[in-house]
Amino acid sequence: MPSPRIDVQDGVTVVSFEAGPHTLDEVAIAEARDAMLASSSADPPSVVIDLSEVEFFGSTFIEVLFRIWKRIQDRSGRFALCGTNPYCQEVLTVTNLQKLWQSYETRDEAVAALRDPG
């Protein structure tokens, strides 16, 4: 089971997963949900979800991402994804979530974008 790792990089909270590739299905998310949701209480409320080690996720993972995003939004914070592979990017496009969430190729790009609101 891929445990999420939560780090702070330049004042931005980053949720990532150990070396993969990982499939984040319902079983995996059930074990990781609480740790992931805890990231939404980050101060300042800027969170990047690094998906560079994730090859597949389903609707349960999308629900967790949405809950984190909503909590961050309620605190006037910022949220982004990075490292999405083509399959995961397609899922975000089909669900129209790419319009809601910024996505960056690398963790450094995402952190820089959230750190600099301009």
In one letter, which amino acid is 3?
S
Measured at the CA of 47, the angle between CA 95 and CA 81, to 5 degrees, comes to 35
Q: How does residue 113 score in pLDDT terms, banded at 50, 70 and 90?
A: very high
Residue 101 belongs to domain with CATH number: 3.30.750.24
Q: In this structure, are residues 88 and 57 in contact, taking their beta carbons and an 8 Å threshold?
A: yes
105: pLDDT strictly greater than 90: yes
Neighbours of 85 (CB within 10 A): 14
Number of domains making up the chain: 1
d(CA 30, CA 101): 23
Residue among 16, 40, 11 at smallest CA distance from 114: 11
Range of the domain at 47: 4-115
pLDDT tens, position by position, 77-103: 999 999 998 888 888 888 888 888 999
pLDDT value of residue 32: 81
Answer yes or no: pTM beyond 0.85.
yes
pLDDT tens, position by position, 6-46: 999 999 999 998 877 777 777 778 778 888 888 888 888 99
Strands 12-17 and 4-9: antiparallel
